[in-house]
Amino acid sequence: MLVYSFLNDFKMIKVLIPFIRQVELIMNPQEIKTFRPENAFFLPSLKAEICYPENIKYMKIFAKIIFLLIAIISLTISCDKHKNDDKPKNDVLATEDSIYWFIDGLMDYWYLWNDSLPNLDYLDYDSPQDLIEDLIVTRDHWSFVDKEETVNSLFQEGEDFGYGFYLTWDSQSKLRVLFSYPGTAAYTAGIDRGCVIEKINDSSVIEIDNFDFFFSYDPGSTKFDFTDHNGVPQSITLTKEKYYMKGVLFADIYELNNKSVGYIVFQSFLEYAEEELVDAFETFHSAGVSEIIIDLRYNSGGYVSIAEKLANILIPESKVGSVFYTLKHNDDRSPIQDTTVHFRNNSLNLNLNRVFFITNEYSASASELVINCLKPHMDVKTIGNTTYGKPVAMYGFNFQDWLVLPVTAKTINSEGYGDYFEGITPQRKVVDESAFAWGDLNEPSLHQAFYFIENEVFDASAIALKGTRNPRLVKGGGKRLQNNLLIMNR
């Protein structure tokens, strides 16, 4: 019996060998492909040295001790295990179950609120997603796990499926296009921010109670009757298709009082947006812009490496080398894993004295990181609505074909401030009015930025449009807007 029990438990231990390897990876993330400094998420995006080389050898020794302990414990409990034949799932740990072991150990080691983790039997769960949901604290709306291929297709390539635009009810009870992605069939047909959707499949939008049928991920075609920016009625039938999201929705240069003013609508800090961001600021740099307005409405975050790149372009040259942000981990990982990142030279640096940001409740994570961490170093003007409120970062951990992204650190600026879980309040509150196209100087938020550039004060006489209120997001022709992205590039 003892020999049989040992052999049976040895099967479990053999299955755990990959997991033991992952224990080493948890403690030595330098070996994890996802943990390249240029790939961190502040989803949000962050960059830090998680593990110092002098500690690695002790961590590996610890991993080997864990392996030995599991072997000993398995021998001790083997007789009891065979009395529970009604629970075959726990008799021999299946290979696919090792993701649950990995998540449990990972959260205990890295999770920012690891002192509040509940005691759970992780082998009782049918999916890693359900386990994560039950492990995280109430405040945490962001930690998640998904197939690595799924995450990469969205975060790196920007791949999505649908019509490629979002809808919102405006203050006049009109169904307007919140924004559309350049390059999609809808955008080419003239469906862009501010257009009014009148009918869908010949039914008035006022009569439609549920839009899920039109914007689900099921293949199909839909007829849209809409009014374009010139007030001209249009009709088009669109077929759902694979498309690629864009990071820059609009960019232009304006001349005001002998100043060149750059305006950019930046919608994502994810990998697919980096090249577009660089192209836009190369244009701004070549034009010698002296004022920048960055519209971060609907930008819910992304990689910290891209947030760093943007900040390094905006910061005054005299501040290069100053502290950008610091990562603070849980009590078990601090202070040895805490990391401070400094501003660095960038060939596109505009040497600005101030910068304008337009925000709303969808501006999250990496967007907030840039705003909060530039404030101690330059004049930062904020316009619009209070941001989402996510001053924490996530690391990505590979396991088999899964990618686990728990909240692992809090971010603070050079003055030690990072407590904006309720969001960052703008200096000039302005209703997000979707009736105007991108770049329209009559759009309330953009108007306030240009008014300040011209007069050095905000326009106190400007009033909200008749009956305006914050727009109510309906549904997008793709993945919903997410407020959960500040991902450390690891």
In this predicted model, what pLDDT tens digit does every residue of 21-39 receive, in sequence order? 444 444 444 333 333 333 3
Is beta strand 485-489 parallel, antiparallel or unpaired with respect to 301-303?
parallel
Output the average pLDDT for the chain.
81
Residue with tokens 């109670």: 209
Residue with tokens 């790149």: 309
Least-confidence region, from 112-121, 152-161, 480-489 = 480-489
Mean pLDDT within 195-207:
94
CATH superfamily entry for domain 248-462+480-489: 2-enoyl-CoA Hydratase; Chain A, domain 1 (3.90.226.10)
User: Considering Cα of 247, then 316, then 366, then 408, what sign does the dihedral take?
Assistant: positive
Q: 102: which 2 tokens?
A: 């990995």
- pLDDT of 89 over the 50 cut: no
- pLDDT of 69 over the 60 cut: no
- pLDDT of 202 over the 90 cut: yes
What b-and-e string marks burial along 346-365, b requiring 16 or more CB atoms within 10 Å of the CB? bebbbebebbbbbbbbbbbb
Taking residue 124's Cβ as centre, other Cβ atoms within 10 Å add up to 13
Most confident of the ranges 70-79, 96-105, 256-265, 477-486: 256-265
How many Å apart are CA 234 and CA 177, to the nearest integer?
Answer: 14
Quote the pLDDT of residue 20.
43
Output DSSP code: residue 317.
G
How many Å apart are CA 102 and CA 214, to the nearest integer?
Answer: 39
pLDDT digits (tens, 9 = 90+) for 263-320: 999 999 999 999 999 999 999 999 999 999 999 999 999 999 999 999 999 999 999 9
Are the C-beta atoms of 222 and 477 separated by less than 8 Å?
Answer: no
Taking residue 385's Cβ as centre, other Cβ atoms within 10 Å add up to 21
How many Å apart are CA 361 and CA 351, to the nearest integer?
Answer: 29
Least-confidence region, from 164-173, 183-192, 287-296, 326-335 = 164-173
Nearest to 106, CA basis, from 194, 182, 188, 35: 35
Quote the pLDDT of residue 474.
58
Q: How many residues does this entry show for the chain? A: 490
3-state secondary structure of 146: strand
Is beta strand 196-200 parallel, antiparallel or unpaired with respect to 203-204?
antiparallel
Quote the pLDDT of residue 209.
84
Nearest to 242, CA basis, from 179, 156, 177, 184: 184
How many Å apart are CA 297 and CA 294, to the nearest integer?
Answer: 9
pLDDT digits (tens, 9 = 90+) for 237-277: 999 999 999 999 999 999 998 899 999 999 999 999 999 99
- pLDDT of 470 over the 80 cut: no
Residue with tokens 């836009």: 280
pLDDT bucket at 395, cuts 50 / 70 / 90: very high
Helices 304-314 & 366-374 angle (0-180, nearest 10)? 30
Q: How far is CA 105 from the centre of its chain?
A: 24
Q: How far is CA 466 from the centre of its chain?
A: 34
pLDDT digits (tens, 9 = 90+) for 398-420: 999 999 999 999 999 999 999 99
Quote the pLDDT of residue 185.
96
Q: In the chain, what are the domain boundaries?
A: 2-35+51-146, 159-244, 248-462+480-489
CATH 2.30.42.10 fits 159-244, yes or no: yes
3-state secondary structure of 371: helix
Taking residue 208's Cβ as centre, other Cβ atoms within 10 Å add up to 15
How many Å apart are CA 147 and CA 153, to the nearest integer?
Answer: 10
Output DSSP code: residue 376.
T
User: Considering Cα of 95, then 96, then 101, then 107, what sign does the dihedral take?
Assistant: positive
